[in-house]
Amino acid sequence: MEWEPVIGLEIHTQLKTKSKIFSGASTAYGAPPNTQACAIDLGMPGVLPVLNEAAVRMAVKFGLAVEAEIAPKSVFARKNYFYPDLPKGYQISQYELPVVGKGHLMIHVDGREKRIGITRAHLEEDAGKSLHEDFQGLTGIDLNRAGTPLLEIVSEPDIRSPEEAVAYMKKLHQLVVYLGICDGNMQEGSFRCDANVSVRPRGEEQYGTRTEIKNVNSFRFVERAISYEIERQIEVLEKGGTIVQETRLYDADKDETRSMRTKEEANDYRYFPDPDLLPLMVSSDFIEEVRGELPELPEAKYHRFLDQYALKPYDAEVLTASQALADYFEVVVETSACDPKLCANWVMVELSGALNKAGLDITASPVSASLLGGLLKRLADNTISGKIAKQVFELMWESGKDADTLIEEKGLKQITDSGAIEKIIDEVIANNPKQLEQYRSGKDKLFGFFVGQVMKATQGKANPQQVNELLKDKLKVE
C-alpha cells in the first residue's frame, strides 16, 4: 500500500510591536518575571482591552505579502478555557471572521516550485508562560508574555512531505523577518509551529484522521517530528488500527512523538464575539497605505538579482536569504562599481566566512558594505592583487580603516611598472642559474618557483599577470 502524507502547518508569529495587542505594557523579551504585565494583562476586575493599531498594520502587511484577501470587517472572539497562564480565563482571538483570508506562498523543493495555500491568518493575544521546573513541585507563572500580539498563520493541507514542510516554514520565516513584523527568534518563542499530520492511501481523496504535533520550534525538529509521525501512523494503519485524533508532543531526545492529552474530550472553547471590542474595520485607504510600506519581497528580489546582476540561482538565493544580506550586497556592488559576480564571491566566501568564525550576524559586521566596496574597487582597478586584497580585508576587519588608508599605510600597492618587474625578474634569474638551466631543459614545474621568488622579492606586490607574462618571456630559451 502506498501512503501519501497530508500536512498542514499552523504557525504563531509574535508581532514586533512595542506594546501589547490590547494594553500598553511592553513586549520586550527577557524582563524579570511579572514586571511587564499591567492590570489589563493580569485580567483584573473591571479592565477592558484596547486594540493596538500597529498589530493590525502588521497583519495587513502580511496579508498583502501573501496576496491574500484582507477582510474589510473582522471580529475578535473569545476562546474560553481555564489555565493559570491565561489570566482572563479566555484568550481574545479571531474565529469566524479573521482579518486575513486566503493567500499563498511559493516554495522551492528539489529544484521544483510548489504553491502552498494559506487558509487564513488572524490576530490574537499570547498567553503567559508556565515554568514547571525550579519550583519544587509547583509551577511558576510568568505573565510578561500575556497579551503579546500573535499572528496565527494557517496553511492549507497542501504539504506532502517533511521536506516541503520545512521549506514552507523557512519561506514563511524569511518573509515575516523581511516584512519587519517578526524577529523570527525561535529560541525566544517568536516563531512557533504546530503541525497537523495525517496519511491516506495514494489516490484517495478523503483525508485521514489527523494528529496535531504542538510547539515544534526548530526547522530540524519539524522535519524529524513529522517524519516520525508519518511513519507511526502508517505503521498503525497497516496493522489494522485507527489513528486517534489527538495532540502530541515531539521529544527531541528520543526523536519520537508522544500523546499529550490524556482526556478523551477536546476542549470546547465556546467561541463568541468579544463584547468589549468593536468589529475591526479595515478601509481600502488603510490597505493601500500599508501596501505602500511593503518592502521588496524575497521572491521578487531573487528574480531581480538574477536579472540585474546576472547571478547564478544558488548565489541569488543565498544573497536574498535575508534582507540585511541582500542590502549589504547591493551597497557593495554600488560602491565598488565592479562585476557583481566578484562582489557576490567576496560576500559569500570571504565575508561570510569571517562572520561565521566570529559568530557575528551581517548586521554586526566590522567591515561595512561601503568599506568592502571600496576594497573591491581597488582590486578591480588593479591597485592591489587578489592575494593582497585578502590581506587588506583582514586588516580592515581588525582596524575598521578603509582600503586606501590601509594600502597607503602598509605600502601594499601593486607593482605594475613593467620596467620595475623586469628588473626584479632579471635579478631573480641571475640569482638562480641552476633552476634556469633545469627549466630550460624541460622542467616546466619550476615556473612556479620563479614566480614565487619574484613575489618574495616584491613582498607579494607584483602584479601576478604581468609577472607571468614577463617571466614566460624572459625564461624562454634564447
Partner 1 sequence: MHTKTLAELAAGLRAREFSSRELVQHFLNRIDQYNGTLNAFVTLSGERALDDAEAADRLLSQGEGGALTGLPVAQKDIFCTRDIRTSCGSRMLDNFTAPYDATVVARLRQAGTALLGKLNMDEFAMGSSNETSFYGEVKNPWKPDCVPGGSSGGSAAAVAAGLTPAATGTDTGGSIRQPAAFCGITGLKPTYGRVSRWGMIAFASSLDQGGPMARSAEDCALLLGAMAGFDERDSTSVDHPVPDYCASLDDSLEGLKIGLPREFFADLESDMAAVLDNAMDEYRKLGVEFREISLPNIGLSVPAYYVIAPSECSSNLARYDGVRYGYRCEEPKDLEDLYMRSRGEGFGAEVKRRILIGTYALSAGYYDAYYLKAQKVRRLIAEDFKRAFEEVDVILGPTTPTPAFGIGEKTGDPISMYLSDIYTIAINLAGLPGMSLPAGFITGKPVGLQLIGGYFEEARLLNVAHRYQQVTDWHRQLPEAFV
Binding site for partner 1 (CB under 8 A): 39, 42-51, 78, 80, 82, 84, 87-90, 141, 268, 270-272, 275-278
Q: How far is the CB of 277 from partner 1 (least distance, A)?
A: 5
Q: How far is the CB of 283 from partner 1 (least distance, A)?
A: 18
Distance CA 181, CA 11 (A): 14
Distance CA 170, CA 67 (A): 18
Contact 408, 402 (CB under 8 A): no
Nearest to 252 by CA among 214, 230, 221: 221
Q: What are phi and psi of 461, to 5 degrees?
A: -90, -10
Please give the DSSP secondary-structure letter assigned to residue 415: B
Kindly state the helix (H) or strand (E) to which residue 314 belongs, with its residue range.
Answer: helix 313-319
Determine the 3-state secondary structure of 401 from DSSP.
coil
Buried b (16+ CB within 10 A) or exposed e, 42-58: bbeeebebebbebbbbb
Distance CA 213, CA 248 (A): 5
Q: How far is the CB of 142 from partner 1 (least distance, A)?
A: 12
Nearest to 339 by CA among 284, 283, 379: 379
Q: How far is the CB of 40 from partner 1 (least distance, A)?
A: 9
Of 9 and 141, nearer to partner 1 (C-beta) is: 141
Of 58 and 280, nearer to partner 1 (C-beta) is: 280
Q: How far is the CB of 145 from partner 1 (least distance, A)?
A: 15
Q: How far is the CB of 165 from partner 1 (least distance, A)?
A: 30
Of 141 and 332, nearer to partner 1 (C-beta) is: 141
Q: How far is the CB of 363 from partner 1 (least distance, A)?
A: 37
Of 278 and 358, nearer to partner 1 (C-beta) is: 278
Of 80 and 247, nearer to partner 1 (C-beta) is: 80
Of 31 and 50, nearer to partner 1 (C-beta) is: 50
Q: How far is the CB of 86 from partner 1 (least distance, A)?
A: 9
Distance CA 57, CA 54 (A): 5
Nearest to 22 by CA among 112, 146, 160: 146
Query: Is the Cα torsion angle 167, 172, 173, 178 positive or negative in sign?
Result: positive
Q: What are phi and psi of 142, to 5 degrees?
A: -110, 115
Q: How many CB atoms lie within 10 A of CB 99?
A: 27
3-state helix, strand, coil in the chain (%, to 5): 40, 20, 40
Q: How far is the CB of 96 from partner 1 (least distance, A)?
A: 11
Any residues with CB less than 8 A from the CB of 130 and at least 6 apart, and which?
Answer: 83, 84, 85, 139, 140, 141
Of 83 and 251, nearer to partner 1 (C-beta) is: 83
Strand partners, 118: 103, 155
Of 95 and 305, nearer to partner 1 (C-beta) is: 95
Of 43 and 189, nearer to partner 1 (C-beta) is: 43
Distance CA 463, CA 158 (A): 57
Q: How far is the CB of 404 from partner 1 (least distance, A)?
A: 57
Of 47 and 354, nearer to partner 1 (C-beta) is: 47
